[in-house]
Structure 1
Amino acid sequence: MPAIHMRSGLLLSAALAILAATAAIAAEKKYDVGATDTEIKIGNIMPYSGPASAYGVIGKTEQAYFNKVNAEGGINGRKINFISYDDGYSPPKTVEQARRLVESDNVLLIFNSLGTPPNSAIQKYMNTNKVPQLFVATGATKWNDPKQFPWTMGWQPSYQSEAHIYAKYILKEKPDARIAVLYQDDDYGKDYLKGLKDGLGAKAASMIVAEESYETSEPSINDHIVKLKATGADVFFDVTTPKFAAQAIKEAAEIEWKPLHFLNNVSASIGSVIEPAGMEKAQGIISSAYLKDTSDPQWNNDPGMKAFDAFLLKYFPDGNRIDASVMYGYTVAQNLVYVLKNCGDDLTRENVMKQAANIHGLKLGGLLPGITVNTSATDFAPISQLQLMKFEGRRWDLFGDIISGDVSG
């Protein structure tokens, strides 16, 4: 072979070798702690006990959904190892469990841990350690603050946005209202209260005639309901978790207080709130929704609802179909799977947050038509739309248009 051809062949071989090496580097899998070729470790903290234990079913639903994902081959061939601990809705316990998940269990991220006070207690820890605190199960407005807390992201509509919507409705339909507010005495309750006041604007001072706060350690809130009735209020803004929401509905009926009752979305479950309180006592209550109501026959032939029912039948037969928390857990778990699939073989914590902050017009089977998931590097509020609903008969009836909230972090 002529020398010039030999040199050309060597150069070509060298170039091909460089290209092959470059391709190998490009295809190299990237992992942080908690991810391997076969597994993705996901941490979770839920109140399986304590005053907010009604929400514990969310964690059980998520486990069942991840069992489904694993049975169908996992995420890009990797199985989800879902590690969920009980904190009893106690922030000090939340801190303990978060450290356990991050430092002992070595999870890739903590997903959908529940409650505003519990998540507030671990927010700085998660961000200091650069561990995703992803799709937290609370609508506090502060979760949408990517500049200060780039490792924390909410999921559901913000409490302030929701309260704004109720305020607008009151101003339009009952402009002379005398409003009594019952709220949980923590960041969760105060976020709703702020949203209501901001929504009422200059009229807040004259329209709100009473504000009663309660502690989650109280066995009953009946005395608070009696006090609020005595003010002569004809509108009741009820900011409670399921146990206390059921008590409020029941006590108001028993003392024959019949205000226009607004119940916050996170306690609008028929299974865990309305049924225990008594459906006949809940007639006319107004709330809001972004998820489909499983008790509403209009969704009987809906593909998303059929998929949900098939999931329950095969993977979570003990799940209470009409508990809104079950639909919640199912839908937010779908959203996490979407994010992890988009991570491909780059399962680093940084890429998890990058993919979570790059969602555009995502439709999930449990969301109401017209409501989609959207995020960006500057917007960590995945869902910002709601529709009002009224409890009539044995179910919630949606009314009005899909409304976008106008509160940012």
Structure 2
Amino acid sequence: MNTPSWSRRLGASFAVAAAAMSLSGAAHADILIGQTAGFTGQVAASVKELTLGAKLYIDKVNATGGVNGQKIDLVSMDDGFEPKRAAANAQTLIDKGAVAMFLTRGTPHTQAVIPLLEKAQVPLVAPSTGAMLLHKPVNPYVFNVRSTYQREAERAVQLLLEMGNTRIALVQVNDTFGADGVTGAMNGFNGRNVKPLVHLTYDREKPDIPGVVKKLIAADPQVVLLVASQQITSDTINALRAAGSRILGATLSNNASNGFVQLLGQNAAGVIVSQVFPSERSNNIPMVRELGDLVKAKPAESGGQVTPAMMEGFASAKVLVEALKRAGKDTTRAGVLKALNGMSKYDLGGMELGYSPTDHTGTNYADIAIIDPRGRFLR
């Protein structure tokens, strides 16, 4: 039987409409956000805590209707903390249609992703690295949330000196992250007309921890500032303790996680860790209180305890969601970029942040904490 012409025309109209919706993104389609980070490898523990903090907020937003009627779909891929895999993952996520990349981890890894951002004109929100190269010169596609490594390393050295530690050793991994942290640390030394007692370097791929430990014990500093991943840092401190050394360990905020504390085990107490967000126990700060409530509501997922890494992920997700809200119905890459550059003033909840086309710095907060016998970060 022949199909009536009106039916054929109607069917064709539906097909055209469906195709148009597919190409433009249906009104209620998910908003795809891409993440590549080391869910396995040297930084796995802190990456999982970072992402958990972000997901707690994103899940809350999705549970209350999403953003402009759309749910946020955070797709996370494991790069094993390898820059080449980070770039490959980012390309896959961009090809899938991610409107933004989010919460990458590591300086060389983020560097590997940047050319892909520029080619596809995709914004990256909240790279979990304080690399100065992501701040100056301003990259039009990178929007930082946390403070720089240089700022926190400088502040850490200043505070260590103020505590009466005149013999400070400096140990770094030999990559862009290590060099960045050391630049800040040296600013702290130079500001007080002091030099590090000894300055040592790890090979990033094959760190000679026994060799570094031997040299540290021979130099006999009061404290060693370690600019390295959580695995290398914890292995060094544990090796010092196994050798009978009581040299005080200090490190940067990339190691501010429960995972780092667990790697240290019985050697965690007394280790100093710099911080780039307010204390997770400062419940007078709205942002801290908000995250605390989410953690209490999902104890099975969160472990029931807020950590500094979770705080960074949570704050980063708040910035991402605010940009998506300000983009309105235009949740394209260009729309999100425009919204971010127009976010001149945003209150995270007791901590303010702002961007412009000439400033993608984010916050400038820096402090230090000491791990107590219970594994908590005390200010």
The whole-number CA distance in structure 1 between the counterparts of 2:233 and 2:217 is 16
The whole-number CA distance in structure 2 between the counterparts of 1:393 and 1:222 is 26
Helix, strand or coil for the counterpart of 2:300?
A: coil
C-alpha spacing 1:326/1:202, structure 2 compared with 1 (3 Å): closer
C-alpha spacing 1:195/1:142, structure 2 compared with 1 (3 Å): same
* 1:357 aligned residue: 341
* 2:80 aligned residue: 88
Q: % of aligned pairs identical?
A: 24
* 1:131 aligned residue: 122
The whole-number CA distance in structure 1 between the counterparts of 2:251 and 2:43 is 16
Matched, 1:388 2:368: yes
- The size of the alignment, in residue pairs, is 355
Match of 1:110 among 101, 108, 113: 101
Matched, 1:196 2:185: yes
Higher relative contact order (CA 8 A, sep 6+): 2
Pairing of 1:157-306 with structure 2 (within 5 A): 157-174=147-164, 177-201=166-190, 207-218=195-206, 221-269=209-257, 271-278=258-265, 281-283=268-270, 285-294=271-280, 296=281, 299=283, 304-306=287-289
Point out the structure with max Rg over C-alpha.
1
Superposition deviation, residue 216 in structure 1? 4.2
8 Å Cα contact 1:272/1:323 also seen in 2: no
Helix, strand or coil for the counterpart of 2:371?
A: strand
The whole-number CA distance in structure 2 between the counterparts of 1:219 and 1:144 is 29
Compute the TM-score of the two structures, normalised by the length of structure 1. Answer: 0.77
8 Å Cα contact 1:44/1:111 also seen in 2: yes
Superposition deviation, residue 339 in structure 1? 1.4
8 Å Cα contact 1:35/1:41 also seen in 2: no
The whole-number CA distance in structure 1 between the counterparts of 2:242 and 2:344 is 47
The whole-number CA distance in structure 2 between the counterparts of 1:335 and 1:123 is 20
Superposition deviation, residue 305 in structure 1? 4.2
Superposition deviation, residue 189 in structure 1? 1.1
8 Å Cα contact 1:46/1:59 also seen in 2: no
Match of 2:145 among 134, 155, 158: 155
Matched, 1:49 2:40: yes
Helix, strand or coil for the counterpart of 1:42?
A: strand
Unaligned runs of 5+ in 2: 1-20
C-alpha spacing 1:195/1:132, structure 2 compared with 1 (3 Å): same
C-alpha spacing 1:241/1:341, structure 2 compared with 1 (3 Å): same
In the alignment, residue 349 of structure 1 is paired with which amino acid? R
Unaligned runs of 5+ in 1: 1-30, 399-409
C-alpha spacing 1:67/1:173, structure 2 compared with 1 (3 Å): closer
* 1:26 aligned residue: none
1:144-190 deviation line (CA, Å, top 9, x unaligned): 1364x211222211000111112333454447x23221222211111
